Structure 1
Amino acid sequence: MRIRIVDAFTDRPFTGNPAGVMLLDAFPDDTRLQRIALEVNHAETAFAHPLPEGADADWALRWFTPATEVAMCGHATLATAHVLHTTGAHTGPVRFATRSGVLSATPREDGSITLDFPTAPLTRVEPPAGLSEALGAEPLTAFDTGPNIGDLLIEVADEKTVLGLSPDLKSLAALSERGIIATARADNPAEGHDFVSRCFFPRIGIDEDPVTGSAHTALAPYWSERLGRPDLTGFQASARGGLVRTELRGDRTLLTGRAVTTIDGELLA
C-alpha cells in the first residue's frame, strides 16, 4: 500500500505540520489503522477511500494520532486533498465524509487549498485550577471550544509569552478533553500574521502540534471578534511553524494553506 508524508500549511519541505496519507479501497480494521499511525508517528495519519456515486461525499476520511482516533484534523485533511489533486485521484473540490460531518477542500489557482470546516462554538469558562502553573503563564481569558475539537482556548499577555511557553505537559494533559490552545495578538501584523498560537495535546499523544488546522476554527471566531475583521492570518509558532489564513463565515470557517509532499513510498507490512 502506498503511503505519503505531506507537510501541510507550508510551501517548503520540513516546515509546517507533517501528516501521513494513505488512499485505500476500503478501511481495514481499526487496530491496523492505529498500528500504522503509530508506525508513522506523526501528529496524524489520514486514511481515505472513495465513496460510490450518489453518496453525500466523495471520499471517506479518518484521522489517527499515534495514540487514538480524533474527530477532526485540519492539517491531515489539507494533506489528503493535496495528495488527491497532485496525483489526479480527484479533480476539483472534494467532499470528505468524517466524524465531524461533511468537510470540503477546494484547490485555488495559486496552488493553495481552502478547507470548509464548522466554526467552533466558544463558551467562556473559568480557567481550571492549576492552569497557570501547568502552562507557565497567566491566562487572560479561557474558552471551551465545543465537542468537535474539545480544546481549552487561552489568551495570554502577548506574542513573547506564547513563544516562551514551556508547559508541564503531564499536568496540562488533565485540564481539557483534547488539549490547550495558547494564543496572543501579533506584536507586529506587518510581518504577515494577525495572531500567534501554540497547541499542546499531551492527552492524545502529541506534546506540541506543529500547525493545527482544527484549532483555527476556534481561533478564527475569537480573533475576528477581537480585531473586527472576518479575514485573518494566524501563525502557529512551533519549532516548524506554519501559516493558516482564516475566513469566518458564521457557523463555517474557511482555512487556507499550502502543502508539499516530502516522502512517497510503500507500506510493506
Structure 2
Amino acid sequence: MAGPPVTVVNACTRSGGGGSPTAVVIDDAMLTDDDRRAIARGTGTTHSAFIDASRADAPRVRFFTSARELTNCGHGTIAAQAILLYRSGAVEHHGRQCTGGRTFATTAIRRQDGIEVWFDQGAIALPDGADETDGGIIAALGLERADIAADVRVASPGTPRLLVPVRDRRTLLSMQPDFDRLATECRRLGYLGCFTYALSPTARTGAARMFAPAIGVDEDIANANSVGCLAAHLLDTSGNGAIEIHQGDTLQSPSSVFGSATYTADGIVARIGGLVDLGPPIDLG
C-alpha cells in the first residue's frame, strides 16, 4: 500500500537558506505509530509532523522521530502551520493547534522569503536550584567548569531541558560531546537534552546548539522550543525577553529562531517564530 503524501520543508531558515528539514504528513487514521516512525525513518529527517486536519478549527498535530513520539516540537509546529497555510491558498491565517493535550494560538503569513509562522508556546517553568548536573552533564558535553559563563538552568515548556551558557561562540562551535554519556546523564536526570548557547554583548542575539541524544537526536539543526525557554530565562534574569538565536552552523544548515517572553498571571509565557521554505512533495512508495 502506498504511503500518505509527504512534504519535506525547511523550517526556521536564515537569510533565505538553510533551516531544519522537517517531514510534514497529512495524517491517515489507518496509520499505526509504527507506520509513523517508519515514515520518519524513510524521509531521512530527524522529525516528522503528522496533521489530523479533520478539525479545521484546531488541527491535531503529532510529532515523531524514527524512535519515538514527542510531546511537542517547536520547529515541527512551524513547519506544520506553513503547510496548512499553503494548502488553504490564503495569504495569512490566525488559527489554533492541538498538540500534547494543549491547544494554542498560531499565526502564519506569506512573505517574499517564505512563510513566517509564530505560535504561543505557553508557560515556561523555571524551577529554582537548577544546577543538578553534579558535573556529569558538563563533562559529557566535553566542557569544563571554566567554559560555563553563568549558572545552568532547567527550563520546561512541558518537557524539561538544561540551558547551558558557554563563555563565547568559539567555545560553542568547538564542542564535541560524548553522546552516549550525555544520553545516559539526561535520562538519569529526566532532561530532554541540553541547549548550549552564547549570547552577543547586547544579549539580543546569540548562537546555540541543542544536543538531545536521549531521544535519538544527537544535535538539532533548530530547536525552537528551547529558544522560547531561553527567552523566558533571559526575561527572568535580565528583563529582556526578546531574542534571535542562530543554530545549525556546525551542521552546514544555518537556521534562525525568534523567541519573545512576557510576564502574565500564569507566569512567564513565550512566543516562537521562524520562516519556512516549502519543498516539493516526496513519494515514499
Same fold (TM over 0.5): yes
1:194 and 1:48, CA in 2 relative to 1: closer, same or farther beyond 3 A? same
- In 1, Cα distance between equivalents of 2:25 and 2:229: 28
Match among 114, 128, 136 for residue 118 of structure 2: 114
What amino acid maps onto 1:135 in structure 2?
L
Please, what TM-score do these two structures have when normalized by structure 2? 0.83
Matches within 5 A, 1:87-126: 87-88=87-88, 92-108=93-109, 110=111, 111-123=115-127, 124-126=130-132
Distance apart, 1:119 and its partner CA: 3.5
Structure 1 segments, 4+ long, off by >3 Å, are 11-14, 108-111
Deviations, residues 227-247 of structure 1 (Å, cap 9, x unaligned): 432222122254212111111
1:259 aligns with 2:269: no
1:153 aligns with 2:157: no
Deviations, residues 103-137 of structure 1 (Å, cap 9, x unaligned): 33202464411111123212223323322321122
Deviations, residues 178-207 of structure 1 (Å, cap 9, x unaligned): 211111212576xxx522211001111111
Decide whether the 8 Å contact of 1:184 with 1:197 is kept in 2.
yes
Decide whether the 8 Å contact of 1:179 with 1:202 is kept in 2.
yes
* Correspondence for 2:7: 4
Decide whether the 8 Å contact of 2:93 with 2:109 is kept in 1.
no
Distance apart, 1:25 and its partner CA: 4.7
1:25 and 1:131, CA in 2 relative to 1: closer, same or farther beyond 3 A? closer
What amino acid maps onto 2:247 in structure 1?
Q
Task: Report the 3-state secondary structure (helix = DSSP H, G, I; strand = E; otherwise coil) of the residue aligned with 1:182.
Answer: strand
Match among 200, 207, 210 for residue 199 of structure 1: 210
1:27 and 1:115, CA in 2 relative to 1: closer, same or farther beyond 3 A? farther
Deviations, residues 138-188 of structure 1 (Å, cap 9, x unaligned): 343222223722211111222221121111111111222321111121257
1:116 and 1:147, CA in 2 relative to 1: closer, same or farther beyond 3 A? closer
Decide whether the 8 Å contact of 1:58 with 1:94 is kept in 2.
yes
Please, what TM-score do these two structures have when normalized by structure 1? 0.88
Task: Tell me how many residue pairs correspond in the alignment.
Answer: 262
- In 2, Cα distance between equivalents of 1:46 and 1:143: 29
Distance apart, 1:16 and its partner CA: 1.2
Cα RMSD for the two superposed structures:
2.3
Distance apart, 1:58 and its partner CA: 1.8
Decide whether the 8 Å contact of 2:232 with 2:269 is kept in 1.
no
Decide whether the 8 Å contact of 1:48 with 1:62 is kept in 2.
yes
1:65 aligns with 2:61: no
Q: Structure 1 stretches of 5 or more lacking a match?
A: none
- In 2, Cα distance between equivalents of 1:48 and 1:223: 33
Match among 253, 261, 264 for residue 248 of structure 1: 261
- In 1, Cα distance between equivalents of 2:133 and 2:10: 33
Matches within 5 A, 1:176-191: 176=186, 177-186=191-200
What amino acid maps onto 1:38 in structure 2?
R
1:24 aligns with 2:27: yes
Residue identity over aligned pairs, in percent, reads 24
- In 1, Cα distance between equivalents of 2:168 and 2:233: 15
Distance apart, 1:209 and its partner CA: 0.3
Choose 226-235 or 159-168, whichever is displaced more: 226-235
- In 2, Cα distance between equivalents of 1:52 and 1:173: 37
* Correspondence for 1:128: 134
1:11 and 1:152, CA in 2 relative to 1: closer, same or farther beyond 3 A? closer
- In 2, Cα distance between equivalents of 1:221 and 1:205: 26
What amino acid maps onto 1:162 in structure 2?
L
Task: Report the 3-state secondary structure (helix = DSSP H, G, I; strand = E; otherwise coil) of the residue aligned with 1:222.
Answer: helix
Distance apart, 1:100 and its partner CA: 4.9
1:38 aligns with 2:48: no
